[in-house]
Amino acid sequence: MSGVVASTADGVLTLTFDRPQRRNSLDHDAMDELVGHLERASKDDSLRVIHLTGAGEHFCSGSDWVSVNKAGDTQPEKPRTGGIVRRTPVQAHRIIELLLEVQLPIVASVRGFAAGLGCHMALAADLTVAAEDALFWEPFSARGFTPDSGGTWLLPRLVGVARAKRMLLLGEQVSGTVAAEWGLIHAAVPEADLDAAASALVGTLASGPTVTLGLTRQLVNRGLEATLAQALTNEAFALELSSRSEDFKEGLAAFKEKRSPDFSGR
Predicted TM-score (pTM) of this structure: 0.91
- Give the gyration radius of the chain's Cα atoms: 19
Q: Domain check: are 10 and 38 in the same one?
A: yes
pLDDT above 90 covers a percentage of the chain that reads: 87
Q: Let me know if residue 148 belongs to a domain.
A: yes
Instruction: Looking at the structure, tell me whether residues 144 and 239 fall in a common domain.
Output: no
CA distance 239 to 101: 18
Q: Does the structure show a pLDDT above 60 at 173?
A: yes
Looking at residue 179, its pLDDT comes to: 98
In a shared domain, residues 126 and 251: no
Mean pLDDT for the stretch of residues 182-191 = 98
Please indicate, yes or no, if residue 223 is contained in any of the structural domains: yes
Calculate mean pLDDT across residues 5-18. Answer: 97
DSSP strand E in 90-221: where?
106-110, 113-115, 127-131, 135-137, 174-175, 187-189
* Whether the predicted pLDDT of 75 surpasses 90: no
pLDDT band at 76 (very low <50, low <70, confident <90, very high): low
CA–CA separation, 96 and 221 (whole Å)? 12
**Cα(181)–Cα(190) distance, integer angstroms:** 15
Strands (E), the chain: 4-9, 12-17, 49-54, 106-110, 113-115, 127-131, 135-137, 174-175, 187-189
* CATH code for the domain in which residue 90 is found: 3.90.226.10
Residue 232 has, within 13 A of its CA and on its CB side, a CA count of 3
Verify that 68 and 187 share a domain, yes or no: yes
Identify the domain containing residue 249 by its residue range: 210-257
* Domain-located, residue 264: no
Residues 61 and 121 in one domain: yes
Same domain flag for 31 and 126: yes
Average of per-residue pLDDT across 59-85 = 71
For residue 152, pLDDT over 70 is answered with yes
**Mean pLDDT, range 5-33, rounded to an integer:** 95
Q: With 70 as the cut, is the pLDDT of residue 69 above it?
A: no
> Does 229 lie in the same domain as 198?
no
- One domain for residues 54 and 129: yes
Same domain, 13 and 33: yes
CA-to-CA distance for 133 and 158, rounded, in angstroms?
20
In a domain, 265, yes or no: no
In terms of domains, do 228 and 126 share one?
A: no
| Across 28-37, 73-82, 86-95, 98-107, least confident range | 73-82
Q: Are residues 112 and 79 in the same domain?
A: yes
Indicate the number of domains in the chain.
2
Last residue of a domain, one of 165, 185, 206: 206
What pLDDT digit, counting tens, does each position of 231-256 carry?
999 999 999 999 999 999 999 999 99
Res. 54: pLDDT tops 60: yes
Dihedral sign computed on CA atoms, order 219, 182, 172, 57? negative
pLDDT at 156 (0 to 100): 97
Q: Does 87 reside within a domain?
A: yes
Query: What pLDDT is attached to residue 128?
Result: 98
Task: Tell me if 263 is assigned to some domain.
Answer: no
The tens digit of pLDDT for each residue in 101-140 reads 999 999 999 999 999 999 999 999 999 999 999 999 999 9
Give the DSSP letter of residue 3. Answer: S
Co-location of 242 and 160 in the same domain: no
Q: Is 262 domain-assigned?
A: no
Q: What is the mean pLDDT of residues 1-24?
A: 93
132-166: string of b/e by CB count within 10 Å (b at 16+)? bebbbbbbbeeeeeebbbbbbbbbeebbeeebbeb
The pLDDT, as a whole number, for residue 90 is 87
